Amino acid sequence: MSSLELLSIAIIMLYVLGTVCIAVGLLARRDRLKRLSQWLTLAGFALHTVMLGLSMQGQTWQVLEKAYYFRMLSWSLLLIYFFVWWRLRLEFLGLTASPVALVFYVSSFMLADVQSKLPPAMSGLFFGLHIGTLFLSFSLMTMAFGSGILFLYMDRKLKHKARLSGFDRDLPALSAFDKVNHLAVMAGFPLFTLGMVSGFVWARIAWGKMLSWDPKEVVSLVVWGMFALLFHQRLALGWRGRKTAVMAIWIFAVCVFSLLGVNFLMTTHHSFNPQ
C-alpha cells in the first residue's frame, strides 16, 4: 500500500468520525462532541490538503481530471465550510459539509482510470476558470442546502407554534440561516456564471462549437437558469427566507444529479466512465 493510499484511509476515517461526532453531538446536545467533530474534520482537511499537495507535485494539471476531480471537490467543500464557520459560527453546517465531503471523497475511488483529454498548455487556466469556480460555487450551494433544510424546519415550527425540543433550542436564529443563503447566492452565482462561460469558450476552442446539447451541458444550463432566477429575486425583489431556501435545495439537488448521475450514467463528454 502506498503512502498516498494510507493517507486516503486516514482522511476517510477522520471524515467518518467527524460526521458521526457532529450528528451525535447535535442530537444528544453534547458541546464537547461538537467541538471534537470540528477538530476531527479539520485534521482530515489538513491531511487532505497535504495529500493533494503531494500528488500534484511534479504533475501537470492533467492529473486533476482523474480521481482528483472529486477529491478537489470534497476539499473545496470543506474549505467553504470552514470559511462559513469562521464568518458565521454555524456548527450545524458541519452536518451537511462532513458527510457530503465524505461521499465525494469516497466516490473519487471510482474514477481511478479516467484520462483527461486536455492539452497541458491550457489546463492550468482552464482548471481555475472552469473547475475551480464551479467547485466553489457548488460548495457554497451545499451550505445553502444545509441551512435551507434547517430554515424550513424551524420556519415551520415557528409558524405552527409547535413545541420546541432541546435540539430546536440549540439551533441558531432563523436569520443566521438566511445569511448563509445570501452569501451562497451572492458569491455562488457569479462564480457559477464564470465557470459556465469559460466552459463554453473552452468547448469552442476544443471542439469548434459552443453547445453540443450534451446532457451535462443541458443540466448545467438548467442549474444556471435556476441560479439566475434566485440571484435576481434575491437582489432585485428582496426575496428571502422560505422561497430562497426552497430554491437553494432544488439547485443543490440538480447539481448533485449533474455531478453523480450525469457523469456516471449518461453519455457525455464529461463522462467518468472509462471508454
Partner 1 sequence: MTRNPEPTPRAAYPAGHNTHPAKPTKNMDQEIYLIGLNHRTASVEVRERFALTDCTVLEQGVVPTGDDISEVVILSTCNRVEIMAVGTGSGAPERVPERVLDCWAAARGQKRCDLEPFVYVHKGIDAVRHLFSVASSLDSMVVGEPQILGQLKDAYRKAVGRNATRVVLNRLLHKAFSVAKRVRTETAVASSAVSISYAAVELAKRIFGEMSQYKAMLVGAGEMAELAATHLLNSGIREIMVANRTFERGLQLAKQFKGEAVLFQDLFVRLAEADIVISSTGAHEPIIRARDIKDVLKRRKNRPMFFIDIAVPRDIDPDVNNLDNVYLYDIDDLKEVVEENMAQRRDEAAKARSIVEEEAGNFAKWLKSLDLQPTIVDLLRRSERIAQDELARTLKRIGPVDEPTREALQAMLCAIVKKVNHEPITFLKRRFDEEEAGTRYIDITRRMFNLDCDDVPEDAHSDRKHPQQRDDA
Binding footprint of partner 1 on the chain (CB under 8 A): 154, 158-159, 161, 163-164, 166, 169, 172-176, 237-243
- 182 or 270: CB nearest partner 1: 182
Q: Which residues contact 123 (CB under 8 A, 6 or more apart)?
A: 60, 61, 62, 64, 65, 116
- 240 or 270: CB nearest partner 1: 240
- Residue 184 Cβ, how far from partner 1 at the closest point, in Å? 17
Helix axes 3-28, 31-56, angle to 10 degrees: 160
- Residue 30 Cβ, how far from partner 1 at the closest point, in Å? 13
- Residue 223 Cβ, how far from partner 1 at the closest point, in Å? 24
Gap between the Cα atoms of 60 and 124, Å rounded: 8
Q: Which residues contact 75 (CB under 8 A, 6 or more apart)?
A: 45, 48, 49, 52, 101
- 203 or 245: CB nearest partner 1: 245
- 166 or 274: CB nearest partner 1: 166
- 6 or 158: CB nearest partner 1: 158
- Residue 147 Cβ, how far from partner 1 at the closest point, in Å? 13
Gap between the Cα atoms of 27 and 38, Å rounded: 16
Task: Give the DSSP letter of residue 172.
Answer: P
- Residue 95 Cβ, how far from partner 1 at the closest point, in Å? 19
Buried b (16+ CB within 10 A) or exposed e, 113-123: ebeeebeeeeb
